[in-house]
Structure 1
Amino acid sequence: MKKMAQQFITQKLKQLTVKELLQYSRKYQIPITEEEAQAIIKALRKNKENPFEKDGRKRMLKKLAGLTSVDTARSVNKLLHKLAKEYGVEEWLK
């Protein structure tokens, strides 16, 4: 069941829109510009790493930092953790 839920969440990340990402960033008070949101969405759609595995998440965020900035990658990491906490699956990101 956990694996299926993780696949569902990973698919949702790939289908996230710029508008949705900006809404989440405002909700959790994590500053992301529209240009950064566009770059993040583009990177998430191309991402082959598993965000639930520590090493996979690290590689994903490192690639994102190369495309945008280290601060943007940190913001995405914070956002992932806040979303995981909201849905009660924060232990999946350990």
Structure 2
Amino acid sequence: MLNLAQQFLTQKLRQLTTQELLFYSQKYNIKISKSEAAQIIQALKQNKENPFDPEGRKRMLNQLAAITSKDTAKSVHQLLFKLAKEYGVEHWLQ
């Protein structure tokens, strides 16, 4: 069941829209510009890494940092943890 839920959430990450990402960034007070959000969404759609695996998440964030900036990658990391906490699955990201 856990694996299925993680697959579902990973798929949801790959289907996020720029508007949804901007909504979440405002909700959690994480600064992401519209152009950064577009770049993040494009990178997430192409990403094959498992965000629930620490090494996979690290590779995903490093790829994102190369496309945008280290600060943007850090912002995405914060946002991912805040979303996981909201849904009670932050332990999946340990």
Alignment of 1:26-65 (within 5 A): 26-65=26-65
Between the aligned partners of 2:2 and 2:78, the Cα distance in structure 1 is: 22
> Deviating runs (4+, > 3 A) in structure 1?
none
**Partner SS, residue 57 of structure 2:** helix
Q: Deviations over 1:69-91 (max 9, x none)?
A: 00000000000000000000000
| Aligned match of 2:72 | 72
**Paired residues, number:** 94
How far 1:18 moved relative to its partner? 0.1
Q: Which ranges of structure 2 fall in alignment gaps of 5 or more residues? A: none
Cα RMSD of the aligned pairs, angstroms, is 0.2
What TM-score do the two structures reach when normalised by structure 2? Answer: 1.00
Matched, 1:6 2:23: no
Q: Which ranges of structure 1 fall in alignment gaps of 5 or more residues? A: none
- Structure 2 counterpart of 1:82, which letter? K
